[in-house]
A and B are shown apart, each in its own frame.
Chain A
């Protein structure tokens, strides 16, 4: 591995690493536009120039396309480098519009930031002489283009060429007329189109969903995990709750991918990116709902749970645990399922429990990230022995059929929309045949026809939880804010209900619960909440999957 010196500091780097990455290891930022570790190197923006000394000879080189070599000396802060950066920025800004006050990228724009850090020059081009190009071009369902702001770094072009293979964008014309556009008649419309907005170093590509919603400096950022499918892409939640007069019901402002080489690299799919709308949706279930008359008094969660406990106790006393069925969910977190298991399987000895149902929606699967299985924790459910009913795979559907046929006196339905799973006739049958139905739901749809009691669930953004992705990687979500209304984490509901049955979970936080899972289940042994860190850990005895795509021959630092 080559040893080199960057700004006088020695550093050893993996062979083949370029100077931008090598400098990063020393926390030295070499400004750049066109280079992106996930894309091919084109060396077109010339922003990353540094002075390089090899064998006593000093010259100027671009950091993105120069590989670190043994004995090399790199200078990133000399007068020459400063002049280079200033000149390049002057070049870029010649015809750049003075848009910062209205540009959605202000605050996270590399042109703006670099200008403040390295540019600060007087413009030699009068405002009236600036070149004009297309503004507010509707290029696709998720993205708006302002080609005047584009620095022609071609990151978005390469993304659509190299990553999605859809090739919608190109740079047309040449010289100062060069302009980024879609081919006439084509739209930037692929399953990952939002990623070009993340990639764009300036405000040329902006996200329709986010445009003009917030200034970036008002937002806080929390590292979390997407629960949109069984991949579990790493994300940042950008959220803001202090300025409630601005769409008060919208706490999360946007999701951005968070780099994890083993899971999603730098990308997320559009479906995941915009999934956050469900968290603050108008149809969130905010309070428990019961069928029995309440005399105008809104029952508290505790009251409702007490009534559920009473009812279940009566059912067990009358016809035994065999008369309870639990339609569990692979969208529940590891902690939820652990608590569920402790209460229903271990304590009440309920056998009729499953989380594999054919009616669950299937997504589109592709080579990049998207998985057909839209539940984030199927693997976790299986590891935690939420066993398929009948023990042989697709037992869920038979369990559901048995439920409809009236084989059970009480049914617990977790996160399932039975109105989608069953025909109207079957729903009516279920209603007639089953004495008591409890639903746990996040939204107000899907249960009203069937449930005696509905308990409101907190969503992934409102709770800390762990999920096990299809590869066996356990990752955790974070909770920047409290759940809406009276919604509660699923495990909290089981914990409260369990208290009526004398079940002690032995832990009252997701962290402690997760550590108990480690003590109980072999595959989680040795894992702890803290050790999951922000990148997750593989289940005990499950090998790390191969790197998804070997762009560089070395693992890259997270940033």
Chain B
């Protein structure tokens, strides 16, 4: 597999943000770019990231497997991660997960036949006071109800997703700013 030029360009931009001797700080941002571009982090991309940033493959692997938002296997177009930690469970996270399982006809770890959705249950997503919550790719949805979940999923299917609750603070833009 060839690494697309767009990614190479992104890598150069990311590299530019950090001093020469701290290139490995670009690891997570670059992995996110790979994921956006390729859908998941392929073994070839993994090796390429290691080489590009001058870190070992073990390090890249450690990072990819540590963070639940990194995808080391092919996954659906949308990765839905439902929080199963205590605060969200107290506000109905568990029922929501069952609801999604039923709706999509898959268990956690599986992908729908049409390749649209992959479901994952994860620990705290960092939005405890607005639980229950889920993350769809990089977008957060808080204070979920079955109806709201339906709206999100149906909207994604129809190509008109419900606007995320808070423009994602995950990737460096401050809460409140809109992503371009």
Q: Tell me whether A502 is interfacial, beta carbon within 8 Å.
A: no
* A244 on the B face (CB < 8 A): no
A177 CB to nearest B CB, Å = 9
Closest-CB distance, A157 to chain B (whole angstroms)? 8
A184 CA / B59 CA spacing, docked (Å): 12
For residue B171, give the distance in angstroms from its CB to the closest CB of chain A.
Answer: 21
- Residues in B neighbouring A175, C-beta threshold 8 A: 123
Chain A contacts with B in 158-176, Cβ cutoff 8 A:
161, 167-175
Interface: B43 (CB within 8 A) = yes
Say yes or no for B163: interface residue by CB 8 A criterion.
no
Q: A185 CA to B58 CA in the complex, in Å?
A: 11
On whether the beta carbons of A167 and B58 are closer than 8 Å, the reply is yes
Nearest chain A CB to B15 CB, angstrom units? 21
For B65, what are the chain A residues with a Cβ–Cβ distance below 8 Å?
172-174
- Kindly count the residue-residue contacts between A and B in the assembled complex, taking CB atoms under 8 Å apart: 32
Binding site of B, secondary structure by majority: helix, strand, loop or mixed? Answer: helix
The size bracket of the interface on A is 10 to 19
Q: How far is the CA of A171 from the CA of B64 in the complex (A)?
A: 11
A186 within 8 A of B: yes
Q: Does B62 contact A (CB under 8 A)?
A: yes
B 30-53 contacts with A by CB, 8 A:
43
Smallest CB separation, B18 vs chain A (Å): 21
- Chain B residues near A157: list those with CB within 8 A: 58
Q: Is the CB of B123 within 8 A of A170?
A: no
With a CB–CB cut-off of 8 A, which chain A residues contact B43?
184-185
Chain B residues lying within 8 Å of A170, measured Cβ to Cβ, are 58-59, 61-62
A172 touching B61, Cβ below 8 Å: yes
For the complex, give the distance between the alpha carbons of A222 and B67 in Å: 47
133-188 of chain A: CB within 8 A of chain B: 157, 161, 167-175, 183-186
B104-145 interface mask toward A, CB cutoff 8 Å, 1 = contact, 0 = none? 000000000000000000010000000000000000000000
Report the minimum CB–CB distance from B107 to chain A (whole Å).
Answer: 17
Interface membership of chain B positions 55-79, coded 1 if the CB is closer than 8 angstroms to chain A and 0 otherwise: 0111101100111000000000000
Q: Give A134 Cβ to nearest chain B Cβ, in Å.
A: 14
Give 22 A-B contacts (CB < 8 Å), ordered by A residue: A157-B58, A161-B56, A161-B58, A167-B56, A167-B57, A167-B58, A168-B58, A169-B58, A170-B58, A170-B62, A171-B62, A172-B65, A173-B66, A174-B65, A174-B66, A174-B67, A175-B123, A183-B57, A183-B58, A184-B61, A185-B43, A186-B58
Give me the interface of A with B, judged by CB distance under 8 Å.
157, 161, 167-175, 183-186
Question: Top 4 nearest A-B pairs by Cβ distance?
Answer: A170-B58, A172-B65, A167-B56, A170-B62
